[in-house]
Structure 1
């Protein structure tokens, strides 16, 4: 893993979840690393503490000379989120620096090492993180670039490179067709539901993107694909001689004897005659059991022992904001999840209902993107209807401008819950105080995560009023 002649790397948009993982890897490998981002965040704070120089000013004065003067030794990694008017972007472009997108850098890394790429419109972060954790916990060499912060390592980069040439695990992002720049030896496809229609235009187009991703596998490649995803992509798109199917009810790799408990799931891994009974997974959710099936299958093909699998699954703590249980004590439960697609919401809420049967379920959901809200309005309303009480925040626009007639309120009519309303962010805590939810779930990929620490603290104060 080296870039010939390069000794310094500068990141434009270093605070992004994928960009920061690469910055950490280059720093670990001994390169001089620095970067720019628009605003500080917990991630940029952590990078600074790790010794990476970060600026929040878009000007040349903020950049150390080593990243400006000898362009033959500097690599610029940039994200399209950086505006075209950026002073730094224009400086590096006009002066002939080598510039690569994050996906291109991952392409270089995956082309030079045995790599496992995990794709899917949902499930890829947890599955790639679990594969990486199983490798590391078993003491096997690995370098993993993830799209979330793992609870085990508090990082989006997992390394165990002391024992030989590492297997590279990457989260293969379908957004902007980035995953088509990778060179996987093994691929996992966790789901292929329509999403990112603002990029792809049609459902058929995104399915074709996944077919192209699968086509990147070499002659000796392996594909692990969830059964519903396989059905959506079609049998003709799959290299059947090197494809393995998995799912909760798959005819191939499947889970049996699933038991939902308040803080965990127990299940048996079954693949024909191969069984591992009584596995304990402490990141709850039927969807996470399914993610675990893929991770286990990959690792068994890498000759992991049953004990290594059992220990790794049991010790995996999950990823921040993926079915993250903040409070589960007494009569009160608070869970936060990144879910921002109807299928993700359905999977999350179905699991919560199984874990806490008969309990009143309140959901606070912040829709992400005007286009996604418009394109999947019916699906959002249907999946949110699983809750007894639904609170909608305004749409988080991210990169988009408002679309006339598209708002959170458009979801209300078709939500079948007994209580449903739109609440402004500045009134959310007052609403919760007035309604005292029993089992509370916050969902969304916008800035709803900023409320999570306060909600967790408030929920615990209800358990111990004298300590509030």
Structure 2
């Protein structure tokens, strides 16, 4: 039996892949920094060993899978090569792995994780589907027919994959530390479509996706009548959102998701389209859609006294807008409080005014210091540059969380891709 060693096992994609290989009966261990990260709890619960980084972790005969965040000069990668071991990058390994299944890549600038989670849950309502989700969740189902996975555009990593299908949720400018412009992002997605074998399912309401050119079938979904797959009669009810689905003008069925917000309906349309193309049982798909419980760090709710606390990964203005929309639709009679931690100085600088505009719709905004990346310099930018653009915005940290107590019966949303959870934990510990 092969022993797989993951260099950077706490990374969301890496931990998900570790789960998959473990579920398939392989021996799995990994290493990472000692700082606590949300993915490690599930790994440890399975008995997967997590070690501090050390060259001595690498032993002869291991198969090494390296996270994309760690360069060739990392001590463990250097040792592996000294021992003559092959080092495979995460995206390269995943590209080879999916060849055994009918694979569905989920990509886009926003909504990848939520849509991949929904896709894997819904498809498993009819056919066995293994999956890899960007929230650190993965499962290798024995005798699976399908493999649903999140494919990230950062550094064009998704070009390592040749899936049967691809869902593209949207195209937006992000990762300004890598992409030079909106056209650079678009070109990356255009290049990715050439790797897809059977069909592409894309949001036809997105202003950029309509310009994608492909030689394989393209199934556009959305609310507009120009789409092939359309949601009509969308209705927000107490327990979620109901909508009718039409494909090529023909009524398919009325579906319901327990999620709130138009972006959740779009995600559901994408998933329903894949299931339709693969001729899955629509009654089973409908039933599974209605029981989806969400994914980690995407609108994760917790009752706290008279307040509702929500943990969400939103770290781009478009995502913040969608999260706040979901909250206001689910809790129309409550104050919506945004606690936001910007992620990376480059993103904060590039979208400073956009962040302000997206946050202004909240009833009150609190801001944490910018969570920087090891890849960048901070320059002179500080959180106060964002604070001055948002009326009445206040600063907050672990020591000053008591100010949130004044929002009785409010919905407090902790948003960000850094370590915003420590602020929420500090608040919960006040009780």
The TM-score, its normalising length taken from structure 1, stands at: 0.85
Q: From 407, 412, 429, give the equivalent of 1:440.
A: 412
Change (3 A) 1:318 1:262: same
3-state DSSP of counterpart to 1:77:
strand
Note the residue ranges of structure 2 that are not aligned, 5 or more in a row: none
Question: Equivalent residues in 2 for 1:393-404 (5 A)?
Answer: 393-404=368-379
3-state DSSP of counterpart to 1:347:
helix
Which residue in 1 is equivalent to 2:12?
17
**Deviation sequence 1:276-322 (CA, Å, 0-9, x none):** 54422112222111111101111121112231121110111010111
**Deviation sequence 1:337-366 (CA, Å, 0-9, x none):** 111001111111122223333532211111
3-state DSSP of counterpart to 1:133:
helix
Which residue in 2 is equivalent to 1:69?
60
Change (3 A) 1:210 1:241: closer
Q: What is the CA RMSD across the aligned residues, in angstroms?
A: 2.4
**Deviation sequence 1:225-279 (CA, Å, 0-9, x none):** 11244x31453x3227500111233532222222224552222222234435442
1:56 aligned to 2:32?
no
Q: From 23, 27, 34, give the equivalent of 1:32.
A: 27
Q: Tell me how far apart the structure 1 counterparts of residues 314 and 423 of structure 2 sit (CA, whole Å).
A: 16
Change (3 A) 1:275 1:167: same
Note the residue ranges of structure 1 that are not aligned, 5 or more in a row: 1-5, 150-155, 459-467
Mapped contact 1:132–1:158 kept (Cα < 8 A): no
Which residue in 1 is equivalent to 2:103?
115
1:41 CA displacement:
3.9
Mapped contact 1:259–1:265 kept (Cα < 8 A): yes
Mapped contact 1:266–1:278 kept (Cα < 8 A): yes
3-state DSSP of counterpart to 2:393:
strand
3-state DSSP of counterpart to 1:192:
coil
Which residue in 2 is equivalent to 1:295?
271
1:176 CA displacement:
1.8
Question: Equivalent residues in 2 for 1:99-178 (5 A)?
Answer: 99-138=87-126, 140-148=127-135, 156-162=137-143, 165-178=144-157
Mapped contact 2:68–2:90 kept (Cα < 8 A): no
Which residue in 2 is equivalent to 1:461?
none
Q: From 244, 247, 252, give the equivalent of 1:268.
A: 244
Mapped contact 1:142–1:160 kept (Cα < 8 A): yes
3-state DSSP of counterpart to 2:170:
coil
Bigger shift: residues 383-392 or 301-310: 301-310
Which residue in 1 is equivalent to 2:196?
217
1:421 aligned to 2:421?
no
Q: Tell me how far apart the structure 2 counterparts of residues 302 and 277 of structure 1 sit (CA, whole Å).
A: 17
How many residue pairs get aligned? The number is 429
Q: From 35, 38, 43, give the equivalent of 2:39.
A: 43
Q: From 2, 12, 19, give the equivalent of 1:7.
A: 2
The TM-score, its normalising length taken from structure 2, stands at: 0.92
Pick the structure with more helix per residue. 1
Q: Tell me how far apart the structure 1 counterparts of residues 394 and 423 of structure 2 sit (CA, whole Å).
A: 18
3-state DSSP of counterpart to 1:319:
coil
Which residue in 2 is equivalent to 1:180?
159
3-state DSSP of counterpart to 1:88:
helix
Q: Tell me how far apart the structure 2 counterparts of residues 260 and 177 of structure 1 sit (CA, whole Å).
A: 37
Q: From 354, 357, 362, give the equivalent of 2:332.
A: 357
